Structure 1
Amino acid sequence: MFHPLARASLGEAAWLAKVVACELGTTFQVPSFLYGAAHEEGRRADAIRRELGYFKPNFGGNQWVGRLNPESLALKPDEGPDPVDPTKGVVVTGATPWVDSFNIPIFSSDLAAVRGIARRVSGRGGGLPSVQVMALAHNETVVEVACYLLDPNKVGGDRVQVEVERLAKEEGMTVAKGYFTGLSQENTIRTYLRLVSFV
């Protein structure tokens, strides 16, 4: 995932994503799929995952399976071969404005109920705009509401936290404090500047 930081443009990030996809597809023979600004139609990453079968539950129905059919992909790669070499898998790369990943643990073993909460929080389900959400079983007693905040300046983790707490309370569930799974945009820039100052 490539994001423009500071004065970089989305077009520059898209160019870099295309170069990486081409290199991986050509040199390393890994099927590569483009999304966002790197794809001519602006295809979304979650649409690629859905078409490839990534969001199918496993035999227990609790975890998502990212397994592919190595003989034939359900979607033609933008770069690289089809079929898939099972030892290499596929690559999904693209360019978008900054995205935050934010997870909120809910103390429950009721995956179906937490999926209902996730659906109500997501923009796709009529909830918070620019928020993509799915429920993932973390262990036997915790299900996490995993979120992509597509426009964190408009809808941040704090707002998602409040909404998840409200909906979970209706279900009689306890919610832990959410956490970001990576650096914020500001911390990424700060870390980069600190690293290049040593060079």
Structure 2
Amino acid sequence: MRLVVAITGATGAIYAMRLLEELKAKKVEVHLILSEWAEETLRIEMNMKKESLIELVDYYYLESDMTAPVASGSFQHQGMIIIPCSMKTLSGIAHGYAENLIIRAADVCLKECRRLILVPRETPLNAIHLDNMLKLAKLGVEIVPPMPAFYNHPVTIEEIVNQLIARILDQLGLEHNLVKRWGDTMKS
């Protein structure tokens, strides 16, 4: 499997890091695009430099590199995940304003009818945010906000993060054992 993963500057760098770890373990070929603000968020939230993420992926592109393979519909892949996805990026995708490689690669997914998964990070949401998400959902984009479930009785941040990553892996059809399934939690 070959995927494009983009990371914006929205809070939630831990989600991106965990997803990249899982994709590497599953030997998925990952093409990473990291926004300039994502680098700053990594530093603020995780005291980490982008090199820690880059070593988890196969290919890395600057968000300004509009010549990257992922900017073209002829580049074959099985989908794109933007995690976390800022409202600025979501808006750019919803309105076809491909000002950088992240939005251009997402636009390619839409025009080529490829899977596009967005993990929007904002709260509270205003009507503009909701309209943009609805517009994209109607186009087939999968909107997977980081909303924790508590039926597994999470105790650590890692358990809460794994729950979201499990949902993303489910969307991609990738096997995992990150969380117990709903029916399994009811058994004693």
TM-score (norm 1): 0.25
- State which structure, 1 or 2, has the greater radius of gyration over its C-alpha atoms: 1
Q: Which has the higher helix share?
A: 2
More strand by share: 1
